[in-house]
Amino acid sequence: NIDVNLEDEDKALHLLCDLPRPFENFKDTVLYGKEGIVTMEEVQAVLRTKELTKFKDMKVDDSGEYLNVSRGRSENRGNGRGKKS
């Protein structure tokens, strides 16, 4: 609204500073682990990579290999009708 143009590095720093607390180590790594200017493109690329890695680690095995569903009466249910156990 005030027609201020931010430099690329300023945008990157603002983005890093606005990240939530779980990203503290990430922020430190990006800010202090690199010499020179931090660009918005670099920050976005690293954030995307981090998110993709997180989703890959959380991926659910949907092969159905571990699925076991049983239906119907159990083996012991029909035996001994009328008797309480």
Boundaries of every domain in the chain: 8-58
Residues 8/39, Cβ–Cβ less than 8 Å: yes
pTM over 0.75: no
Residue 7's pLDDT band (cuts 50, 70, 90): confident
CA separation for the pair 55, 34 (Å, rounded): 26
Amino acid at 14: H
Tens of pLDDT, residues 51-84: 888 877 776 555 555 555 556 665 555 555 555 5
